[in-house]
């Protein structure tokens, strides 16, 4: 599975929003500037995220976006599925009954297990987890000594 720029940029923008919102709305152009992403492209991404119920938009000159739920309730899986659709490496194009025995074996022993693993990982990571890890990394970098 290869993640598109929509998924990668969307996840970056959502983490940026989590880092910089402080419970308030954030202008899309400031996220775009900080993340070096086109504002027009980010508008498309956030439109999808809004329709998925992950962000709320506030219109007007002082408008922007804010998270629609708490950091610990929004998962990476929700964000990626909203932007990418199904995360399966191999989709289930036909029912199991239509598969020959070799295809069925590969489906159940390889593809289904990979798909389950992907779902388990992305559904176990929240924006709060990413925020905590980001802050730890930033703290560790500030303690680096160079000789």
pLDDT cut 90: percent of the chain above it:
74
Each domain of the chain, given as residue ranges in start order, spans 5-142
Average pLDDT value for residue range 4-14: 97
Determine if the pTM surpasses 0.85.
yes
One-character DSSP codes across the chain: ----HHHHHHHHHHHHHHHHHTTS-B-HHHHHHHHT--HHHHHHHHHHHHHTTSEEEE-STT-EEEESS-GGG-BHHHHHHHHHS---SS---S-GGGS-HHHHHHIIIIIHHHHHHHHHHHHH-BHHHHHHHHHHHHHHHHT----
Chain segment 47-87, per-residue pLDDT in tens? 999 999 999 999 887 889 999 999 999 999 999 999 999 99
* Model confidence at 143: pLDDT above 70: no
Across the chain, mean pLDDT equals 91
Q: Is it true that domain 5-142 has CATH number 1.10.10.10?
A: yes
């Amino acid at each position: 599975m290869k993640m598109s720029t929509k998924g990668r940029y969307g996840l970056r923008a959502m983490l940026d929003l989590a880092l910089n919102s402080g419970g308030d709305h954030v202008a899309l152009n400031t996220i775009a500037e900080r993340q070096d992403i086109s504002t027009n492209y980010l508008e498309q991404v956030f439109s999808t995220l809004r329709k998925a119920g992950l962000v709320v938009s506030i219109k007007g000159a002082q408008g922007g976006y804010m998270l629609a739920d708490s950091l610990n309730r929004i998962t990476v899986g929700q964000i990626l599925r909203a932007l990418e659709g199904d995360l399966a490496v191999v989709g289930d194009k036909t029912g199991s009954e239509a598969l020959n025995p070799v295809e069925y074996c590969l489906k159940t022993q390889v593809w289904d297990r990979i798909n389950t693993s992907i779902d388990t990982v992305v559904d176990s990571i929240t924006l709060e987890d990413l925020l905590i890890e980001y802050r730890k990394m930033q703290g560790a970098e500030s303690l680096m000594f160079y000789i």
